[in-house]
Structures are given as structure tokens and as C-alpha cells.
Amino acid sequence: MPTSLKAQKTASARERLLEAAGILFYNYGINATGIDMITAKAGVAKMSLYNNFSSKSDLVAAFIAMRHQEWLDLYEARLKQAHTVPDRILAVFDAYQDHAEFDYENGFRGCGLLNAAAELAAGDEGREAVRRHKEEVERLLVQHLESWHSTAGEALPKEQVALAAEHLSFLLEGSFARAGLEGNSNRVLSARRLAESILAAL
């Protein structure tokens, strides 16, 4: 989660570098962000970066892992407030909304992970890490749907679970892409309402 660089003064050099890189990567993109920009924003010497990260690619990998963990933390916080299966599924949408409403330095520009993946070459480990994150989100939807029981008390068939999870995942990712273009979370809120109607029909 973006934080003020004032708060970083008490953080380790690695934490400050990672926070600064995260802000700059999101604002300007990975390729447009140089090492000098990162160290200047973090307020550390260039050598400090190489003492903590073996390369810029290593820093990018740490950034992707950080963003993944940020979302998981938001999701876990929402999950604590969810008491039914539909609530647990909608918590995934709520966590995406929370991510969209961070206090971004230059405003919300969509999914930081997909933005990063778009700059990386096919087969790059960073792209694979982003893919795994998105697959994990869909797996969470599958897990919740597997615990769903119809009004007759029957579990949903596996085929219906897979189809519903894919449908919800596409709805979620599509809404987040549009939200990024519009710079706010309104599309995610609309997607949440559509998800409620899908769940009501199961």
C-alpha cells in the first residue's frame, strides 16, 4: 500500500527502495523508471540498491510480490467481515475496490500487476508471477463456490463451479481494467452488483 516517504525514514533501506520503486513503477511504468529515480525517491545511495537487490529485475520481482501480498491482506481483512458464502465471494470484489481506492500519488491507473506484465517479455518470470496471482484469485472463487449449496442442500456440480468462477473472474478483471481507464472504482462497484445477481441465480 502506498505510504508517505516520511514514514519510510524509520524503515530499512530495502523497504524504502521497494516502496519508492512501487510508487514510480505504478506512476511511470517499469521501463521508464531508472535506478537513479528510485534511489533519489527512497533517499538512499545507489550502492544501497545493489546491496539489497541483485538487479532491477530482482527489484521488479519484489515489487510484484509486494503488490500480491497487499491484495491478499485487503482480501483477508474483508473476509473477516464475511459470514456467508456469497459474502466471501463478494469480498474478492471488495478487496479489488479497496485496491482501487488507495491514495495513489498520481491517481488510480488500473491493476499495477497487469500494468507491469504488459511491459515484460513473454516468458519473463515477472509475467508468470502475475499470472499466478490472477490464478490464485480465481482459485479463491472456486473454493468458495465449492462450499456453496443450493436451496435443496446440494453442492454445485464441478462444471458449474468452474464456469461460475471463470465468469466472476472475467467480470472482476474487466471491471478493474475499465476502472483504471476511468480513474475510480465505480466499475468495480457495478461488477459487484452484477456478481450478486449471478450468485442469486445459482
The CATH superfamily of 9-53 is Homeodomain-like (1.10.10.60)
- 9-53 and 57-200, same CATH topology: no
Mean pLDDT of 29-39: 94
Alpha-carbon separation of residue 102 from 82, 108, 169 (angstroms): 22, 8, 22
Single pTM value for the model: 0.86
Alpha-carbon separation of residue 89 from 78, 86, 102, 184, 196 (angstroms): 10, 5, 21, 22, 9
- Residue 8 confidence (pLDDT): 47
Number of H helices, E strands in the chain: 9, 0
Alpha-carbon separation of residue 195 from 22, 146, 170, 184 (angstroms): 31, 16, 11, 19
- Residue 152 confidence (pLDDT): 56
Does residue 114 have a pLDDT over 90? yes
Domain regions of the chain by residue span: 9-53, 57-200
Per residue in 119-164, pLDDT tens? 999 999 999 999 999 999 999 999 999 988 765 578 889 999 999 9
- Residue 10 confidence (pLDDT): 54
- Residue 35 confidence (pLDDT): 93
Residue (of 38, 63, 41) closest to 50 by Cα position: 38
CATH of 57-200, one of 3.40.605.10, 3.20.10.10, 3.90.226.10, 1.10.357.10: 1.10.357.10
Mean pLDDT of 65-93: 94
